[in-house]
Structures are given as structure tokens and as C-alpha cells.
Structure 1
Amino acid sequence: MAIKFPLFPYYYANLHSSFLILESLIDFLKQEDFTGYLEFTSLDSNKKHYLFFEAGNPIKAIISHKKVEVVGISDILHLKNFFLNVVKLPEEELVYWSNLFFNTLLYKDLSTDFTDIVKLINKLKKEQLTGCLEITNNDDNSLSYVYFVGGNILGVAWQRELFRFHRGEGKISSFINKIERATFNIYKMDMGKASEVKNKDEIKAKKLLQYILSYFEKKHSKDFDLVLRKICLKGAHTYPFIDPFSGEFEYKKGDLFIADDINLAEIVDGGDFIINSLFQVYKTSQNEKDEIKDFLKQEDIYLPIFKSLG
């Protein structure tokens, strides 16, 4: 069972897909340098989808139902028939909440028969836990959560209040004192597990950019290498990874290398700059752009977050 995500105050609430242009909303959030997440609730399956943003850029998409799965951002953009809530997060908490679902069960089924909850919480503080304590009240099976970062209590949430998030330790005593018979599970956030999940949109974005570079190389073979180098030098100040001297970006004869530590948002922003520049240099017509876009869709490597492709 996935850890319960707490309920935060909504930035926008209950937006229905029938009255929403999702790509336009994402454009708006990008302009706002939005940090937080979009929460999609499917009206067909009741599945939860989360799309996390950092400074306006989508960074991770997750499905949470009976199991947790990282999906492509493009998969989220194709959702239909849902309600959407938008939540802002403090920048310093983004890593925690976007990785909350990736965890290892550290202690299972501890009981109040043998475990004092106050002593347990103090133990987790001393152990500098990053993760959460899940409490099941044996009288009514209701759940409560205490969220930890480096041994500090980030906040608490419990089912009787629909998992509304209470930041800090202020509410700890108000629900601990009511627990007489309970079972505890302790989850440690597994950052290794989270980082092993390769966002397939990063792979798709690299393939998309590689195809477009290859397309222009074949069509303008005489001057393409020089044109691409000039474009990358021009954009290097804004998009450092495309600097020809950085060692993080290289294209040669149909093969594109982008360093693994360059994230999706950087690939898209730098890629858009390169693609738009190529369109301008080679005076690419709208018909030609549409043909490129159609091919990308056929090959399933089209990503609507590339604004240069319309």
C-alpha cells in the first residue's frame, strides 16, 4: 500500500478536464516559475496522478493507486476525464514530497503493547529518519502519518481530518494522546530507488532532438556542423550544457550525446533554443515543421513540452 499523500491548501481546486486546456495551464505555471505539483484524480478509475514542477518545469510524473509507478510526462498530458488540483510547495520541500512514494519498510507492525509512541518518535529523531511513521489506530483502522526529514518532523496528517497537512510538531500531542491501541510502520525514503527510475521522457527528449539534428544535417550537410556550433556557442550562457567546450553535449553524424546529469527541463529548454535557431537559420516553412512533427508522432518520440514544435 502506498503512503498517503497529505492534503495541502490548493492553489487551484477541482478543475475539470472538460473545461481545461492542460498545455495552456502548464505554460502559465512555467511563466510563474511554479514549484509544486498537479494532482489528477481520474473519474474512470479513481487513480491519482501527480506531476511535479520545479521553477516552472515539469520534472516527474507519478501514478499512485495500488502500486506506485513513474510514468512519462507525455502520459500525463494525454489524460482525459479527470479533476485537477494545483498545489504550491516550498522549494526546499520539493525533493521530499516528489520522492515520498519511494521508500523501504524499516520497521513493520510495531505495537503499542510493546512500543511507547513518544519514545519511538524520539528514537526516529535520533536516527535522523527521512521518511515517515505510519500509525494505524486499532479501534477504527484510521491512519495517521508523521513525516520526517533528517530526524526533524516536517508535519503530521491523519485520516479523521481527511489527511490535512499540519506543518511542524504543534499538532503531535493532540492525536498521540488519543491513541491507546495502535500499530506502527516506519518507512525510510529510498533516494537510491527514486534515482534509479529513469524518466522515460528524458530518453524520448534526447531521441527527439537527435532526430531533428539528423534531419537538418542530412538536408544541409555542407554547413550544418558550423551552424550548430555557432548556435551552441550563442546559447551557452543561458543553457550551459550545450556549450561545445562543456563536454555535456555533442552531436556527430546522427549520434547525440547529452550527459546523464542534465535533467529533462534543461534538455527541453536547451533543445528548444537549438530547434528554434535551426528553423530561423534554414527558414523552415510551417509545412515542413508540420511534417517533422507528424514523423515524431508516428515514431512516438513527440513531446508537447517542446514549444518550438508548436
Structure 2
Amino acid sequence: MLYPQGKTVIGDLKTAFVNIDGVLQELKTEKFTGYVKISSENYHGLVIYENGDPVESVENYTDGRPRIDGIKAMNNVIAKTKEGGGLLNIQELPSNVVNMMLRAIHSKVLYKDLLSEFTQIKNLLVTLKTKQITGHIEIEMNDGAGEAFIFLEDGKLIESLFSAGDGSTLSGKKGLARILEVANEVGYVMNVFQSDRKDVGKEKLEIKKPQQEEPIAVQADPTELLEIVEKIVLSIDQSLVKIIGKGKFQDAFLQAIFQKASDYPFLKSLGTNIQTNNGFAIDGAISLDDIVFGVSDVLDQAVSFVSTPKTKDKIKETIKLGLGQVKWLYEEQIPQYNLDTALFEYLG
């Protein structure tokens, strides 16, 4: 599990030097919110605090032993600390991040072992947003390049944490940008977890609300969505004139459409309509999510056509700045169609 980094109170101090009873009393006095973590060979023990009180504890072994939760785990963590031979780490965190950790502990697997060859992170985020999932995504990068957490509430992305192979961490928008960058370079495996309880801070005996049924997908009119996509493409083309020339990005976008048409069949009619000056239109019924998924892939491919490793970052930054007016004009529609998630690198 990836543990979020906050304000370090104690960082990897040998437990042989720690008076754990005194430390825990100090945390209570200071109304500490965050976590206490004990690490040793094949073992991680965690106690989560809110306002000076322990609210959850977990023990994880890497040798196959089952996880232990609750008061038993907390007593074991304290006993392990007194034995010595481990490292103590205490991180102070905001209350909302603590709630995310609690949800992560009390969660069940929704999707397991999703490979980068078949599932794109941005497309997965759009799907989870549509289904209004509260939970988190764990991502293990290939080649030991790092690991990541993405936290969701009702499908909305509320935090991203990336830990590189060298131990450095990033969070927020920078964390998500780095997750997407590294994932694209090396590939990954993802597991998606849905929280058992959304309101983790409430009494366990609270009457459970009936589980909401998943919304039934409907075929909606794609006209407005395609209008926004057209504005995005035209704006990108204008913003890149000085770098690659007028009309070059539109050409690259059309080329990418036909290249991706085998993955997204609706793109063939979209490309044909653009070629014959019929505008951004699709023949036949198609779900809005499918359009968003396809356009996301096409846009990424088009950017790769007009950039080199040396110019890629500059081109992406120029695109992001150039789309400022589109974001303003379609402030409500962009999140409605999940474009802010699928096109995070350009609209985020």
C-alpha cells in the first residue's frame, strides 16, 4: 500500500530509540491527525489518528499471513514497537486525507489486474466517474518505475499520489500528470477498489441506505459534445501555428482518426465527414463515453505525430494555454461530458 506523505513528525526512526507510550500520549495531547507506521522485515503496522484518537489500525505481513484490523492490530503494533528492530514513521495529514486512507482500508476489489495493453487510465477514470464510484485505484508501474494511488468520491477525482522508484512523491495535479507520464512510458497493472463505507467517520450501527442501482446507459445526442471537440481541435491548431505551421495539427488529427478507427469504429464516419466538409458529425448511434474515449486516444496520437521528444513538453504546455478560452466557454459542459478527466493533460 502507498501511504500518503504529509508533514513528517518522525521519519524512519529506529524503534529501539522510541518511548512509544510517551509518543502516543503526546499525539493525544496535541490532538494529532495522521498516522503512525511501523515497518520491519515482512511487516507493516499502521495506526490512524484523528483529533488525537486512534480510529483504525491495520497489520500487513508480506509472508502470506492474513491482515489484522482494529484494536487487536493496534495492540500488536505497539508491542512490535517496544520489541525494537523496526522503523517508526509518523505523518501528520489533513482530515480529508485520513478519510481517504480509511476508505482505502475498508474497500473491496472492483476490478483486478487491469493491464496497460487493454485499459487506459484516463478511460478508466471516465468509466468510474460515470458509475459514481467512491474508492481508489492502485497502480503498479512496470520496471520498478513507481506506484500510485488515485482516490475518488462519487466518481470525482479528489487526490492523486505518485511514489517514484527512488522514493520521491508527488500529489494533486502534479501527481496525476506524473502518473500519466510514467504510465505511458513503461506500462502498468491496475487494481480498482470500491469503499465498503462512504461515511467512514460515522457509527458502524448507522442504518445503511439502499444501494443505488447503476444508471442505465442511454444514447444521447452527441452534437454538443462534437461541437466542443471541434473547438478543441481548432484551438490547438491555432495555438501551434508558430511551432508547426497552420493546419498541421488538423491534418495530424485526421490522420490519427483513421489510424484509430479499427479500435473505435465510429471514427471512420467522423473522419469521412470531416474530409468531405460535413463537419464533426457521426453517422449512427454511439454512446457519449465511447466518443470521449476515442477522441482522447486520437488527440494523444495526433500530439505524438506533431512532436518530438525535445518538443513534446513545450507543445503540450502550448496546447494547455491555448485551450483556456475553450475551458471558459464550456465551463459546465466539459466536466459534464468527462472531458476534464479524459483530456486531463490538456484541460486539467
CA RMSD, 1 decimal: 2.9
Conserved? CA contact 2:145–2:182, under 8 Å = no
- Report the Cα offset of residue 29 of structure 1: 1.2
Q: Secondary structure at the match of 2:54?
A: strand
| Partner of residue 19, structure 1 | 17
Conserved? CA contact 1:68–1:101, under 8 Å = no
When you count helix as a share of all residues, which structure comes out higher?
Answer: 2
Q: Secondary structure at the match of 1:162?
A: coil
From 197, 200, 211, give the equivalent of 1:191.
Answer: 197
- Report the Cα offset of residue 46 of structure 1: 3.8
**Residue 32 of structure 1 pairs with residue 37 of structure 2:** no
Q: Secondary structure at the match of 2:132?
A: coil
Pick which of 171-180 and 133-142 moved more.
133-142
**Residue 48 of structure 1 pairs with residue 44 of structure 2:** yes
User: Kindly tell me: are residues 177 and 63 of structure 1, through their superposed partners in 2, closer, same or farther at Cα, counting changes over 3 Å?
Assistant: same
Conserved? CA contact 2:162–2:179, under 8 Å = no
Conserved? CA contact 1:128–1:152, under 8 Å = no
For 1:24, the aligned partner's letter is G
Q: Distance in 1 between matches of 2:73 and 2:191?
A: 30
TM-score, normalised to structure 2, is 0.48
User: Kindly tell me: are residues 143 and 64 of structure 1, through their superposed partners in 2, closer, same or farther at Cα, counting changes over 3 Å?
Assistant: same
- Report the Cα offset of residue 48 of structure 1: 0.9
For 1:15, the aligned partner's letter is L
User: Kindly tell me: are residues 121 and 74 of structure 1, through their superposed partners in 2, closer, same or farther at Cα, counting changes over 3 Å?
Assistant: same
- Please list every run of 5 or more consecutive structure 2 residues that lacks an aligned counterpart in the other structure: 207-348
Alignment identity in percent? 22
Greater relative CO, 1 or 2 (CA 8 Å, sep 6+): 1
Matches within 5 A, 1:101-180: 101-138=105-142, 142-150=146-154, 151-162=156-167, 164-166=169-171, 168-180=172-184
- Report the Cα offset of residue 161 of structure 1: 4.7
- Report the Cα offset of residue 68 of structure 1: 2.6
- Report the Cα offset of residue 63 of structure 1: 0.6
**Residue 84 of structure 1 pairs with residue 88 of structure 2:** yes
Q: Distance in 1 between matches of 2:68 and 2:113?
A: 25
Moved over 4 A (4+): 138-142
User: Kindly tell me: are residues 40 and 28 of structure 1, through their superposed partners in 2, closer, same or farther at Cα, counting changes over 3 Å?
Assistant: same
Conserved? CA contact 1:36–1:53, under 8 Å = yes
- Please list every run of 5 or more consecutive structure 1 residues that lacks an aligned counterpart in the other structure: 199-259, 262-310
Q: Secondary structure at the match of 1:98?
A: helix
- Report the Cα offset of residue 59 of structure 1: 2.4
User: Kindly tell me: are residues 155 and 26 of structure 1, through their superposed partners in 2, closer, same or farther at Cα, counting changes over 3 Å?
Assistant: same
- Report the Cα offset of residue 140 of structure 1: 5.0
TM-score, normalised to structure 1, is 0.54
Conserved? CA contact 1:40–1:50, under 8 Å = yes
